[in-house]
Amino acid sequence: HANYFSFPFCDFVKTPTIHTLHNQLPRNRETENELMKKFCHLNFISISDEFRTHFDHLNYITTVYHGLDRKYFPFNKIGGDYLFWIGRASKNKGEDDAIETAKITGKKLLLGASIRKDTEEYFEKVIKPNLNDKIKLISNVTFEETHKYYGSSKAFIFPVKWKEPFGLIMIESMACGSPVIAYSRGSVQEIVKDGETGFLVNPSNEEKTGDWIIKKTGIEGLKEAVEKIYSMPQGEYLKMRQACRSRVEQLFTVEKMVDNYEKVYYEILNKK
């Protein structure tokens, strides 16, 4: 789980090694790229199938999705009336599109933005000027508090601007019962089941990744998805919330993750 730092030492030991890559390694860094080429024969685990497209020459032996501990993310079967977004204040995370969508639809939006020194300027220019009675910043949200905001939201909005390798916040939201509205970039379409645990939106007419239920793209697509969720009959909406929890229990629990890792470890050991 240390990315490429251990690669050069693996061929000096007889013990089999398995490497889980958690981040996209930048292709413009010569040293990292050379390491990936030289040690592509090692055993690799991807955290999503989409992640493999960035380094498709590696010896991937399986995909193991991240898992969460359900006791920290209790299920809220009813939800609330606001949109929720949480993450690092950064243009890659898409809070600007979340804000614009809230403004267009007139819906309340809570932003759990963590502001770092290197993102202060972005916060001051993009987020702060848009804060008002309906678009509110909730600062210093602790891990123990996050489930309350997830569970009490109508939906979690995730207009991600880059190819997120996994996106834990999506499974955290679904565990609490809140459907996800997201741009279909990166691993999003592996996590969110379109029409069942939320809605996928193509980022633009030029960047289409699928034929989703929501036909409009970009912010207009986000708007369409938000309005669709808010206009759902109560019974249909509650069914979607239950489907969110069920999907997490089927695919994204810590128990499932550990079982999958153990299975791979035994397979590798049995090949010795």
Q: Give me the pLDDT at residue 28, please.
A: 56
Please tell me the predicted confidence (pLDDT) of residue 25: 59
User: Which residue bears the tokens 């920290």?
Assistant: 72
Among candidate residues 179, 171, 6, 203, the one with its CA nearest the CA of residue 94? 203
Give the model's pLDDT for residue 262. 97
Report helix angle 218-230 to 95-105, nearest 10.
60
Residue type, 99: I
| pLDDT by residue, tens only, the chain of 272 residues | 766 778 888 888 888 899 998 876 555 567 667 777 888 899 999 999 998 888 888 999 999 999 999 999 999 999 999 999 998 888 889 999 999 999 999 999 999 988 888 888 999 999 999 999 999 999 888 888 999 999 999 999 999 999 888 999 999 999 999 999 999 999 999 999 999 999 999 999 999 999 999 999 999 999 999 999 999 999 999 999 999 999 999 999 999 999 999 999 999 988 86
Do 208 and 189 form a contact (C-beta atoms < 8 A)?
A: no
The total of other beta-carbon atoms located within 10 Å of residue 204's CB is 12
Cα separation of 127 and 173, whole Å? 22
For residue 46, list its beta bridge partners: 21, 63
What pLDDT was estimated at residue 2? 67
Beta bridge partners of 253: 68
Q: If you write DSSP's letter for every residue of the chain in order, what string do you get?
A: --TTTTGGGGGG-SS--EEEE-SPPPTT-HHHHHHHHHTTTSEEEESSTGGGGGSTTS-EEEE----B-GGGS---SS--SEEEEEEES-GGGTHHHHHHHHHHHT--EEEEEE--GGGHHHIIIIIGGG-SSSEEE--S--HHHHHHHHHTEEEEEE--SS--S--HHHHHHHHTT--EEEE--TTHHHHS-TTTSEEEE-S-SSS-----S--S-HHHHHHHHHHHHHTS-HHHHHHHHHHHHHHHHHH-BHHHHHHHHHHHHHHHHHT-
Q: Where are the domains of the chain?
A: 7-65+253-270, 70-251
CA distance 93 to 115: 13
Name the CATH superfamily housing domain 70-251: Glycogen Phosphorylase B; (3.40.50.2000)
